[in-house]
A and B are shown apart, each in its own frame.
Chain A
Amino acid sequence: MPEQPGKNAIEVRGVRKVFGTGENQVAALDTVSVSIRENEFFTLLGPSGCGKTTLLRLIAGFDFPTAGEILLHGQDIAPLPPFKRPVNTVFQSYALFPHMTVAQNIGFGLEMLGKPKGETEARVAQMLKLVKMEALKARRTSQISGGQQQRVALARALAPQPKVLLLDEPLSALDYKLRKEMQIELKRLQNETGITFIFVTHDQEEALTMSDRIAVMSAGKILQVGTPRDIYDRPAERFVADFIGETNFLPGTVVSKQAGVATVKFASNATIAAGYPEGFDPTDEVTLVVRPEHADLVPDPAKGTIAGTLSNIVYFGTDTHYHVKLDGGDNFIVRHQNSRSSPVTYATGAKVGIQFEEDAARVLKD
């Protein structure tokens, strides 16, 4: 999809951020460019230390980029202090003001903007209703639970109607059930308010279920930007495939390629043809990635794409994992969803074939 400049809420252009000086210099962000569309739920996903929080802080204005521009609706905001940016943040620690009530916390931004008292009160009431906290508006923030603090932090950041809402791992402090609840809640709030959300997380499941688009980051770089499906089904790099979901990695050598499809030869001498990402020119050593659920077991080794010996069967309730030792020596996992009538039963030690479609496999840089 071509970029439409007018429709971008945030445009990050060639942003570098270096911390420290001299020999201690560390590039937290290494020339990052990304466009975030209006009304989009955009997620920055990556392991800790990948630069996702740094990028968020640059957009919020808590840090300033070493180089590059950050555009908000086409206007460069990189040199502006945080209080001059129509952008609000939900902090990982919530950072609620302990000396104020819930309602005072939510009204703080509006008050600082100099809104009339009546307008502030009306908006606070509206926000309290939106996050279902009306009953606790007079409480101190120390007198409410973690989940409730989370809601107040959201309401406080949404109250001034920012152009973009930044969320820095806001769900990481909540327990599993509450997190699931808040994921749905966040999606609802984004739909109702129509505000662009930029969400930072290291939780791939969270990213996949909530986002319109995801940027996968590692070591200060953005590796891939795409819809959850794009990222999952067509990872652009080995790191992306590895970080998101489970994947089988098969090392091999390119024997031929044409029209975006490369034929790869493996240790077992088997060959597989599979697509590769745009901009990657596969030569010599490559990795073939196949999602465990995109492959099937067949009883006849000759009928599979590749063949091996069943080494272990692990039952998970909803599905079963078959661990296969390939003839070339690599390990391969096939995930099979359990149904009422499983036609074939396998035994460990049996020779089996593994079958997958050409578009289930992908050739990536080793």
Chain B
Amino acid sequence: MTTATLSPSPLSQPPLSKAALFEAQAVKAGARRNRLLSLPALIIIGIFGVLPLIIICVYSFLVAAPYGGVQWHFSTDAYLNFLFQRDIFDDTLQFTPDFLIIYLRSFLFAVVTTIICLLLGFPTAYFMATRSPAQRNWWVLLITIPFWSNLLVRTLAIMFIIRDEGLINDALLALGVIDKPITMLYTNFAIQLGLLYAFLPFMVLPLYSSLEKLDFRLVEAAYDLYATRRQVLWRVIIPLSKPGIIAGCLLVFIPALGAYVTPLILGGGVHLMIGDLIAQQFGSGRNWPLGCAQALILMAAVLVALFFYVRNTSGKMQHG
């Protein structure tokens, strides 16, 4: 077969000629220029990303001042306080899982949000991607409309819809379906609903961009090779839209885990999530080191979760 010889083997490359050396130098110069181009971004990341992170890191090892701020004494109390409480009388440490429970609940909220967003977002994105190009742009516009107004305002709107004297209860009462309002506001349900509402577009858009690039001739080919609709979905469409699924899940899971406004308003301060807990330490709690430690623990947890998630999903992609 003649075609096998088309790709040159790396072993058979001739030694670098003068022209090749010159070319290599040109490539190096090009790489230098590219590094220069990334300088503005690096400066911004340095000032607004790395520097605050260093400050948080340092503060987490200091002692809280009585009226906010920090005192410059080294201490690991902030981290100990995450899991233990120091007895006022004998200074012994006692295991108190209060913070841990809030963390676990937040993880649960974020996971449920991600899963439901994926289940709702995938058909939506598929629908959008299979429209005509002109229609697609309209659908993308519709999906992005919520971003035009503030999340706080939109969350307050949800509050007006689901509270006891809200739209839903009023309508159900008027229709005689129920005789006393269903309490939805300030419950876990309200938080979950608010999170889904806030983050669904972040799932739909990356899924759409992945599905839009999907070559639908591959779908036809799979049908032709006796795959049923369900098999086409699992064996062709989902594996090929995996980059979008991964991106969408990350874009929903991470901000959902640190959500602040939604649980604050819809949970009524009763059902805390990590974001509210951390904010509390800088406000009424007046314990900046504890807030810093909690933020860093969250970051570490997310990084570990990310590591396993990406490793697993990319592994599955290899096996198709």
Residues of A within 8 A of B (CB): 60-62, 81-83, 87-89, 91, 93, 95-101, 104, 108-109, 112-113, 132, 135, 145, 147-148, 156-157, 160, 178, 181
Contacts and interface: CB of A to CB of B under 8 A. Distances in A.
Contacts of A60: 224
A181 B1 CA distance: 10
Given A135-B4, A145-B3, A145-B7, A95 B220 contact: yes
A132 B220 contact: no
Interface in B214-254: 215, 217-218, 220-228, 231, 235-236, 239-240
Contacts of B224: 60-62, 82-83, 87-89, 157
B125 to A, nearest CB: 19
Contact of B226 (A95, A98, A104, A112): A112
Residue with the greatest number of chain A CB neighbours at <10 A, chosen from B1, B2, B7, B239: B1
Nearest to B2: A181
A87 B223 CA distance: 11
21 contacts: A62-B224, A81-B223, A83-B225, A83-B228, A88-B224, A93-B215, A95-B220, A97-B221, A97-B320, A99-B239, A99-B317, A104-B320, A112-B222, A112-B227, A112-B228, A112-B231, A132-B1, A145-B6, A147-B3, A157-B225, A160-B226
Given A96-B221, A109-B226, A112-B225, 6 more contacts: A61-B224, A62-B223, A108-B222, A112-B228, A148-B3, A157-B224
A160 B222 CA distance: 13
A96 B223 CA distance: 13
A88 B225 contact: yes
A61 B222 CA distance: 12
A333 to B, nearest CB: 37
Contacts of B4: 135
A60 B221 CA distance: 10
B218 A95 contact: yes
Contacts of B239: 99
A89 B240 contact: no
Interchain residue pairs A-B with the least CB separation, the first 4: A109-B225, A95-B221, A112-B226, A82-B223
Contacts of A148: 3
Contact of B240 (A91, A99, A101, A181): A99
A96 B236 CA distance: 11
Contacts of A135: 4
B215 A95 contact: yes
Contacts of A112: 222, 225-228, 231, 235
B225 A160 contact: yes
A99 B3 contact: no
Contact of A91 (B3, B221, B235): B221
A62 B220 contact: yes
Q: Which of A108, A113, A157 has the most CB of B within 10 A?
A: A108
B114 to A, nearest CB: 23
B223 A98 contact: no
B217 to A, nearest CB: 4
Contacts of A97: 218, 221-222, 236, 320
Contacts of A96: 221
Contacts of A145: 3, 6-7
B220 A113 contact: no
Contacts of A61: 223-224
A156 B218 CA distance: 13
B227 A83 contact: yes
A184 B240 CA distance: 35
A155 to B, nearest CB: 12
Contact of B217 (A82, A93, A156): A93
Contacts of B2: 181
B240 A156 contact: no
A89 B224 CA distance: 7
Contacts of B1: 132
A157 B239 CA distance: 21
Contacts of B320: 97, 99-101, 104
A89 B226 CA distance: 11
Contacts of B223: 61-62, 81-83
Nearest to A62: B220
Nearest to B318: A99
A238 to B, nearest CB: 36
Nearest to A82: B223
A323 to B, nearest CB: 40
B220 A82 contact: yes
Nearest to A104: B320
Contacts of A62: 220, 223-224
Given A99-B239, A99-B240, A104-B320, A91 B226 contact: no
Contacts of A100: 320
Nearest to B240: A99
A62 B240 CA distance: 21
Greatest chain B CB density within 10 A among A88, A97, A156, A178 is at A97
Contacts of B218: 95, 97-98
Nearest to A135: B4
A88 B223 CA distance: 10
B317 A89 contact: no
Given A98-B240, A99-B320, A147-B3, A91 B217 contact: yes
A345 B240 CA distance: 67
A265 B18 CA distance: 75
Nearest to B218: A95
A132 B3 CA distance: 11
Contacts of A104: 320
Q: Which interface residue of B4, B222, B223, B224 has the most chain A CB atoms within 10 A?
A: B224
Nearest to A150: B3
Nearest to B220: A62
Contacts of A83: 223-228
A63 to B, nearest CB: 10
Contact of A113 (B7, B226, B235, B240): B226
A337 to B, nearest CB: 31
A168 to B, nearest CB: 10
